[in-house]
Amino acid sequence: MKLAHRAVLAACLAVCALLAACSGVPHSSRPEAVRTVGVDVSPSAASDDGPRPGDDPRTIVFGFLNASLSSDARHSGARQFLTTDAGGKWNDNAVTVVSDYKIDVAQLSGNTATVGFSYQRIGSVDASGIYTPEKTGVGIGRTTSATFLLKRINNVWRIDQLPFTGLLIRRVDFQVSYSAHLLYFFDSSETQLVPDLRYSALEGQSLASWLLARMLGGPRQELAASVQTDIPDGSDLSRAGVTDADPIVVEIPGSSHFDQPALSRLATELAYTFGPIRYAGRLTLTDGGKPVEIPGAGTVFSTSTFPGLGSDNSAPGAQQYFLRNGGLISGVDYKPVPGPVGSGSYALRSVALHRVKAGALVAGINGGGLVLGPSTGPLGKVSLPARPTSSAEFRPGTSEAWLGVGGAIYRVPADRKPVLVPTPAALAAGLPPKGEIEALRFSPDGIRLAVVFRTADDSSEAVWIGSVVPAGESVSFESFEAVTPTALKVTDVAWKDATTLLMVAGTPDGEPQMYTVKSDGSYLDAVPSTGLPRGITDVAATVGQAPVVSAGTPGTVWIQTFNGWASLSGGGQTDGYAPAYAP
């Protein structure tokens, strides 16, 4: 289904807030149609924790903010703290996430009052569950000051004017009340599932309906040209719906007439998207209430029906390597690999590896530029338009080496002839002022590329993420979006899994340390550094394996453990630098 058509259909679809609880699928029931939050939904009974005659205006403000954490229909508990007029205008679909807030003492004037309010914004979540991070500060925006306006009605204070749009939630409450959910779409090759991270506070039937609405609405804009949808054009989705039961029943009108490959892909996307909301979640796809036969699966399916496609699918046999004295060292026996690559003949400064039947391909950077070849050697020099500014990276599932040259990205196919990768103007022309790419790393699905871009005046070293758009034999990028704040100086990055990045970064007045961040900029957190020396320089990671870092000059190599960090070799000191995985 074309995404332009999907966007039109999406306008008619949103979350159903019915809270039905089912232990099975009654023969007489139909999946609940997807509807809009707050429309045709009976609000829950008034909360016992609503405003009371004796509550002062500041207490009312506290009460409203606390009640906003509830996931009840239309936040009816929080609406009790608003006047009728304010409640009618309040849109509770948008969420502002803050590090903390401060509520001042109320200023009274007859039957009106004002309460000063200030907060530091971290990010926001829109109605479709997409998180947008704050780009200023180190994950904390500039302090914003505003005022609540309250009125006394029938001797009870109520908020008549809010100083922000939608919900405002502290980071700690957001992490407790909101859960991360992954929508899944196939890439253009129809072989790889790509996760699309969303956030919701809903549960049960409401969550199931919300997820279906988001799926039918299509991927986020950054992924729109990189993935596909598997519902044919012209499908009537106005009657699509879902019932949270065992199995979960998803009604897609016309699905019984989909061609077999599209039906299998749709079932796979549904299984990985809905499976996590129930233990060992099983699904049934229906058309007009009748179960649809899924090729090779029958009428009941789950993620186990389509193994090996989830974002948490690890790379079996992924091996660690690192460099020592310019040579490639195995992380298994801590000895140089056989041949000139291990002996240090190429004086490597960084390395990327790609497993092949005969061993591994090596893309290394040394004083002369990029060298490429088998791990047993020899490595051939690749002619580039200028000196590389980043280490190399193999795109997953291919033998193409990618790297940054100034502010541009090049890929090197098997013929070793570099090809410039078209990028959006913001990155291709350089962020104002111009700068260069210091690091680049592909997500495990090969669809997103994380780039560390340093501006020429050193005002920013941020992580940008772009989505790969295949076009025949060539590729380009639809967009690049910054996901880390400008004040956090990032020097290296790696993907821990399909939606989590590890970074070597430092605050303006601090030492470089390890951080994690989600691919949408959410959950920016420092990683405990117990056992790590100072001076972290590089990080390597892959799905299902412990991250490895190097620190100091000439360098030592460390691996993350349950209790912190330990020497890679498990005892003493592991000398080396520039760790890498061969996934």
Q: Please tell me the predicted confidence (pLDDT) of residue 234.
A: 67
If 0-12 CB within 10 Å is exposed, 13-18 middle and 19+ buried, where does residue 11 land?
exposed
Question: What does the pLDDT average to over 476-487?
Answer: 87
Could you read off the pLDDT of 226-236 as tens digits, one per residue? 999 888 766 77
Give pLDDT tens digits for 345-375.
999 999 999 998 878 999 999 999 999 999 9
Dihedral sign for Cα 322, 460, 131, 449, please.
negative
CB 463 within 8 A of CB 501: yes
Angstrom distance (rounded) from CA 397 to CA 377 = 21
Burial per residue of 377-397, b for 16 or more beta-carbon CB atoms within 10 angstroms, e otherwise? bebeebeeeeebbbbbbbbbe
Q: What pLDDT is recorded for position 34?
A: 52
Give the Cα separation of 320 and 580 in Å (integer): 6
Q: Alpha-carbon distance 148 to 125, whole Å? A: 22
Q: What is the arithmetic mean of pLDDT over 150-165?
A: 94
Dihedral angle computed from the Cα positions of residues 483, 69, 37 and 123, in that order, rounded to the nearest 10 degrees: -10
- Tell me how far apart the 2 most distant CA atoms of the chain are, in Å: 87
CB count within 10 Å of CB 220 equals 21
What whole-number distance in Å separates Cα of residue 171 and Cα of residue 161? 23
Beta strand pairing call for 359-366 and 350-356 = antiparallel
User: Looking at this protein, which amino acid is placed at residue 443?
Assistant: S
pLDDT value at position 43? Answer: 32
- pLDDT for the residue numbered 22: 34
Given this model, what pLDDT does residue 311 score? 74
Range 54-81 average pLDDT? 90
Find all residues with CB under 8 Å of 323, minimum gap 6, and list them: 329, 348, 349, 350, 351, 576, 577, 578
Structural Rg of the chain based on CA atoms: 26
Q: How is residue 68 written in tokens?
A: 């906003």
Q: How confident is the model at residue 509 (pLDDT cuts 50, 70, 90)?
A: confident
CA distances to 6, 198, 214, 230 from 219, rounded to whole Å, are 10, 10, 8, 12
C-beta separation of 241 from 31 below 8 A: yes
List, for residues 78-98, the tens digit of each pLDDT value.
Answer: 999 999 999 999 988 889 999
Residue 570: burial class (beta carbons within 10 Å; 0-12, 13-18, 19+): exposed
Token pair for residue 139? Answer: 């994950």
Structural tokens at position 543:
């799905």
Per-residue confidence band for 12, with pLDDT thresholds at 50, 70 and 90: very low
* CA gap 112, 60 in Å, rounded: 13
pLDDT, residue 73, reads 66
Asked if residue 115 has pLDDT above 90, the reply is: yes
DSSP 59: H
pLDDT (0 to 100) of residue 21: 33
33 — pLDDT class (breaks 50, 70, 90): low
Nearest-angstrom CA–CA distance, 85 and 71: 22
Helix (H) or strand (E) holding 323: strand 319-324
Share of residues in the chain with pLDDT > 90 (%): 70
Measured CA to CA in angstroms, residue 430 lies from 222, 386, 426, 456, 459 at distances of 19, 16, 6, 9, 13
Residue 454, strand partner residues: 436, 461
- pLDDT band at 19; cut points 50, 70, 90: very low
Residue 583 CA to residue 575 CA, distance in Å, equals: 22
Could you tell me the two tokens for 505? Answer: 């970064």
Question: So what's the pLDDT on residue 16?
Answer: 33
- DSSP of 112-166, one letter per residue? EEEEEEEEEEEEEE-TT--EEE--SSSS---EEEEEEEEEEETTEEEEEE-SSSS
Distance between first and last Cα of the chain: 33
For residue 417, the 8-state DSSP code is -
pLDDT tens for each residue of 402-434: 999 998 999 999 899 999 998 876 654 444 457
Q: How many CB atoms lie within 10 A of CB 358?
A: 9
What does the pLDDT read at residue 351?
98
Instruction: In whole angstroms, give the CA distance from residue 251 to residue 32.
Output: 9
**Per-residue confidence band for 6, with pLDDT thresholds at 50, 70 and 90:** very low
Helix/strand/coil for 320? strand
- Alpha-carbon distance of 456 to 433, in angstroms, equals 6
Answer whether residue 56 shows pLDDT above 60: yes
CB 265 within 8 A of CB 252: no
pTM above 0.95, yes or no: no
Do the beta carbons of residue 283 and residue 208 sit within 8 Å?
A: no
Average pLDDT of the residues in 434-463: 90
pLDDT above 70 coverage of the chain, percent: 89
Which strand (E) or helix (H) includes residue 86? helix 84-89
Q: Is the dihedral of CA 16, 18, 24, 30 positive or negative?
A: negative
Give mean pLDDT, residues 197-205: 94
Ordered domains of the chain (ranges, CATH): 3-19+28-37+179-305 (no CATH), 57-177 (3.10.450), 319-582 (2.130.10.10)
Strands (DSSP E) found in 188-300: 193-200, 227-228, 241-243, 248-251, 283-287, 290-291
How far apart are alpha carbons 74 and 92 in whole angstroms? Answer: 7
Q: What amino acid is encoded at 199 in this protein?
A: Y
Residue bearing the bigger pLDDT, 31 or 580: 580
Name which of 116, 171, 126 is nearest 149 in CA terms. Answer: 116
| Residue 58: HSE in the Cβ half-sphere, 13 Å Cα cutoff | 9
Q: How confident is the model at residue 32 (pLDDT cuts 50, 70, 90)?
A: low
Round to whole Å and give the CA distance between 132 and 143. 18
Question: What value does the mean pLDDT of the chain take?
Answer: 87
